[in-house]
Amino acid sequence: MTNDREFSDLKLERKECPKCGAIWINGEHRWSGTGNKGNELDLAGLVCNKLGDHQCINPKRGMDGGDTWAKRLEDLEKKKEQSDVDL
């Protein structure tokens, strides 16, 4: 008896950063809590570049760009100014 079934190459690989707990599923960063597709550069700007060390597995750690806490604060201040003008 021969087995003519074709098998899928489907796999599930999960990696978790031992430093911050960020998760990659099949090589794709996912935000914790929501599971939404993440952005490694944003993760670097928000977490890894400030708190990361040799344990960090984010391939974008050390790169400039992406989102930062300073940028988020600036965006909030702009929105506040706009809402003050609209009053």
Q: Which amino acid is at 63?
A: M
The model carries a pTM of: 0.76
Where does the pLDDT of residue 87 fall: very low under 50, low under 70, confident under 90, or very high at 90 and above? Answer: low
Q: Tell me the C-alpha to C-alpha distance, in Å, between residue 49 and each of 22, 25, 84.
A: 14, 22, 34
CA angle 22, 17, 13 (to 5 degrees): 85
Length of the chain as a residue count: 87
Which has the closest alpha carbon to 22: 1, 52, 2? 52
32-47: pLDDT as tens digits: 788 899 999 999 999 9
13-28: pLDDT as tens digits: 999 999 989 999 999 9
